[in-house]
Structure formats: structure tokens, C-alpha cells
Chains A and B, each alone.
Chain A
């Protein structure tokens, strides 16, 4: 048996080395994309913990992390990144950052009642805290110095208003996970900003075939839907396919951005994308702590600093698109 396995392994190796190369695409075709760098500060080395509520493997959070890593490289900061989608576990992660006596903590506040007590503990221990991405209404109460992020309701309203301006009559909001406050706030904002006929649907964001078919089923069930708004970039790609499958003529738009989105906007398959600039959120959170540590500055002066909504459509996709392709936008 082992002989046979070795033989298969060898045959495979040979097939690979025999130069079964692809003439197009692949790594060879990948352009050298310059990382976002700006030299390195000569300030003393410090350690900053970043604790988020990201689910592992989410493209959106990956961009936040890249922003944080860029700022850390520039500011001579050692970044300790950790995340957990459950608020109790996230609170534990913040506590372990306090225990390891970091010089600063950048934190998301998706569930303020669960997280504010531990943030207050960090501040009592003399560790400066900056909030980002989630917690726009509660960061002041927690004692965090600043907030970088977008207001989900404002972003939702902007999307709804744009849909109305595009002439949509019946909007469908696609939610990829049930029970998430930020996602619900976006859809509620869409409904408010749009003002017309509106429906909401939940899909299983962890299974791509069912995302696609569930949206298609909804479009078949209600043929008057003429615009689909998804709350995350990967789901927009599925929704585009759903529209084709169901024979609907609905248009598709989305929140958030990923490297595949610009091409879809250029081709017209996707109308627009509302970006909250996750790279900027991660970058400013780390840079904000560094500024506070080195010069006592507070970005935003204690008020929330908005990073979005930033709307990308055909008019500006060429400019923004090249950064997205590099995975930093």
C-alpha cells in the first residue's frame, strides 16, 4: 500500500515539475503591489494590543488588521492582535491585554454593556484606550480617548437615499448573520433613507451556495424587487449571480469592499459600494495611541471621527480600485 502511495506522490511531483504551467493568471501575473509604508519613527518601542470582535477569516477585518500593521510598522509599535466574536470572550482578551501591561489598547465596542467595565479597568490601570469600528454612541461613556469608525445608521441611510436616487421602487436588504446589532442598524438605516417598499432577508453567510440560492428564491418569490443591497462584499458577488439565476432585472449594491468589487462596478454588474474605510480605522486607532503617547494629542478632540460612508461608484472606481486590488482598501 505504501509503495502505491509513494508512486502516486512521485507521479504527482513529476507532473508538477514537468512544467504544467498556466500561460495566464496566477502568481506570475500578480503585479508588485507596493505596501502602504511611510518609513519608521525613532520613538521608543511600545506594545499596543488590538482586540476586536472579528470572526476569523473575514475579508473586512483582514483590511482593518492590515491598516493596524502598517501604522505599527511606521510608529515602532509591536502590535498584538486578537479577536473573538463573543463579547464575553472579547472582554477576557481585553483583560489579558491589561494583565500583560501593554502600553495601549485599541478596541471595538460592539456590545457596550459587556465591554465598558473592562475598558474602565484598563484606563484605571493607566493604559490609554481608543475605540474604533463599533461603539460610536458609547465610547465616551467608557472613557476611551477617541473613536474612529462609521455610524452604521448614517451609512445605511446614505445607501437608502442613493437607492431612491437611482430610481429603485422595492429594495431587498440581505443580512448574512442573525442577531448582529451593526448589521440590523445598517438595514434599518437603508429602510429609513429609502422610504419606499422594503424587505429584509437572512442568509447563511457561511455557506456560499445557499447564500446564492436563498437570494434567488426571494427574487422569484417577489418579482417586484428591483434593488438588492448586501451588507458585505462577498455576498454582493453571490447576489449578482442570484439575479442572473432568477431571471430578475434587479440591480445590486453593497456595503464594504474587497479586491473583487472594483471589477464588478466597472462592468456595471454592481451599482455602487459603500465603504467605511476599514484600513483607515485600524491605522488611525494605532496611530492615535502613538500620537497620544508621544505628544499627548487626541485625534477628533474627544468626538467621534467618521471614516465613512465613502461611496464608490463608476465615477471614482478607477482611483479607489487599484488600492482595493492590493488588498488595502
Chain B
């Protein structure tokens, strides 16, 4: 007699893709964790060697410098995750400030009109950058290199032909200057420590950027177009609109920073801002964005900007030989990047 032995089927092994990982392992695989470790190490180094670095006032001014790089870096990071570069972001900051200042001055209008006109121009520049990249298929590195030089030339040529000088006129007594200054360039005091308003704006932009990237459909689209534009187009992602939108976001952040420069310093020199585009990209990369796109985080870019700000100020607080400033700056950034990739590799091995 044969008996059919029925053995209970083994319980199906849980799909490993749905496995809950430990909190630590989830934390360690975030793109920004390497940068965070780097930031803590650099903070501790300067805390140890530079007594003037320790008080909260110094931290406040470090955070201020970081915010002026960090605000554009929010959008630059999103753009890099979306697989593109914008080399025109640094001069676009100056262009925005020049447009607002010269428009209000030449037409003797309320400052806020100039601010809005400048916003329209900045968004248009972003739109054109995006459109050129999407329509021609030429790498954004080249397209924005072209717009970088064009804006640089326009900044100087228009300023000189309109004002007759290479810097804009004093706009501090135009209506609306003071209210605009409150929005873009004021400071307030918390427990005796003066805090710049750009810090609050920076935090707000980082929160919005992170929310959009991680919690919305647009965020998924950004990762998708950065990972592979053809595949995401195949599954119905509006690649062109996402990319153009990202370039316009960079335009917006450049405009915001430009407004800060204008209302903090009143007159704008047409030659400034050149070279800052690399600092924004450095902040994003130190913060864990891949140069190839499809991976990265906004919080990481913020930490990257903070690392740059700390290195920038810390070297002075420490009183190191100024001839070596750029050497130290480069060494600190390289150290932060190495530490970043080391931590990330360990984290991936742990997984």
C-alpha cells in the first residue's frame, strides 16, 4: 500500500526585496551619510585647533557662507540627480542681481518690480538652457558652458552700456528696497547670536527639495530620467518637461541668491560670481550625488555646502598660513570625498 505522504509545504521564504532592514543599515545606505561623517570630522578638527571657531557666532557666519552656496546647490543637486549639469548657475546669480537692480533704477520703479522682472529673466534663462539640452541632445555640460560665457559677456556689456560703469548704481533709496531687504537679506538675533535669514530660506528649500525628491511623483521622475532617459521615456515619464523644469529650478535658486547679493550689498559688480558654479557642483558631489546622475540627495548637497563653508572659514579661524589657503581647502574637500566613498562602500558591504 502506498500512502501518499503529504508533507506540509515549507512556508515561502519572505521576498528579500521586502525585508525590513535594521534602522542602522537603512541609515548607512543613504547617499548623504558619508558627507555627514565628513562634516562631523571637519567640525571636530576645527573645533580642536581653532578657538575662535567654537562660539555660536562663528557657527552662524559659517552657516551664512554655506547658505549662499547651499541655496543654489539645492537645485543643482536635483539637476545632477536628473542627469544634467548647469555651468551657468554661478554667473546667473550675478545676472539676476544686475537685472533687478538696473531695471528698477533705469525705470525708477518700485524695487519689487525689478525683483519680479529678474525672476522672469532667470526662469527664461533656465527654460532656454533646458530646451536647448532637450531639443538638441547636446550634453548639458557644453550647452551651459555656452550660456555661461554668454551670460558673462552680457553681464559686463549690458551693465556698461546701460549704467556707463561696470557696477550698478546705488539702489538703497528706491521704494521697496527696505522691504525686499527684509525678505532676502535681513538678520535677526537668537539668544544674542545674529542669524542671517538666508539660513532659514536654505533650510526651507532643502525641506521642499527633499520632499519633492522622495515623496512625490516628480521626485521619482527625476531619479528615473537621471538613471536612464530612454527607459523612463518608454514607461511614460515626460523626460523633456522634467529636465526643463529642473533647469528652471536652478534659474529660480540663482535668482534667489542674486536677490540676496543685491539687497545685502546694494551695488552689484558685473564681474563677480564666476567660478561659483563649480562650488555648487562640488557641494552636490561631496554630498553624495553621482556625476553620472540617478543618485544623490538634497540633504547631502546641503551638508556638502556646509563642509565647503566650514573649510572656507575654518582655515581663517585657525590662522593657518594664507599662502596655503587653497591647498588646505582642496585637501579638506578631497578628504571629505574620500571619507564619503569609504563610508558608503562599508555601508554597502554591510547590507
**Residues of A near any B CB (own CB < 8 A):** 8-9, 12, 15-16, 20-30, 55-59, 61-62, 178, 200-202, 204, 206-210, 213-214, 216-218, 220-222, 234, 237-238, 245, 247, 258-260, 327
Contact A26 B105 (CB under 8 A): yes
Q: A26-B174, A214-B313, A259-B165 are in contact. Are A202 and B322 (CB under 8 A)?
A: yes
B53 smallest CB distance to A (angstroms): 8
5 contacts between A and B (CB under 8 A): A20-B113, A23-B175, A206-B275, A213-B61, A213-B65
Q: A57-B271, A209-B68, A220-B317 are in contact. Are A237 and B160 (CB under 8 A)?
A: no
Stretch of B28-36, B261-269, B286-294 lying at the A interface: B261-269
Instruction: Determine the chain B residues whose CB is within 8 A of the CB of A247 once the complex forms.
Output: 57
**Residues of B near any A CB (own CB < 8 A):** 50, 52, 57-58, 61-62, 64-65, 68, 104-113, 116-117, 120, 152, 155-156, 159-160, 164-167, 169-177, 194, 260-261, 264-265, 267, 269-276, 312-313, 316-319, 322-323, 325-326
> Residue among B58, B61, B159 with the most chain A CB within 10 A?
B61
Instruction: Determine the chain B residues whose CB is within 8 A of the CB of A8 once the complex forms.
Output: 120
Contact B317 A221 (CB under 8 A): yes
Least CB separation from A19: chain B residue: B109
Instruction: Determine the chain B residues whose CB is within 8 A of the CB of A16 once the complex forms.
Output: 107, 109, 113, 117
Q: A12-B117, A201-B316, A217-B52 are in contact. Are A20 and B166 (CB under 8 A)?
A: no
A41 smallest CB distance to B (angstroms): 24
Q: A25-B174, A214-B313 are in contact. Are A209 and B64 (CB under 8 A)?
A: yes
Instruction: Determine the chain A residues whose CB is within 8 A of the CB of B107 once the complex forms.
Output: 16, 21, 26-27
Instruction: Determine the chain B residues whose CB is within 8 A of the CB of A30 once the complex forms.
Output: 169
Contact B267 A260 (CB under 8 A): yes
Per the bound structure, the CA–CA distance linking A218 and B164 in Å amounts to 35
B311 smallest CB distance to A (angstroms): 11
B282 smallest CB distance to A (angstroms): 13
Contact A221 B52 (CB under 8 A): yes
Contact A210 B65 (CB under 8 A): yes
Contact B156 A178 (CB under 8 A): no
Per the bound structure, the CA–CA distance linking A299 and B113 in Å amounts to 52
Instruction: Determine the chain B residues whose CB is within 8 A of the CB of A234 once the complex forms.
Output: 167, 269
Per the bound structure, the CA–CA distance linking A15 and B260 in Å amounts to 23
Contact A202 B325 (CB under 8 A): yes
Q: A214-B316, A217-B316, A245-B194 are in contact. Are A28 and B166 (CB under 8 A)?
A: no
Instruction: Determine the chain B residues whose CB is within 8 A of the CB of A28 once the complex forms.
Output: 108
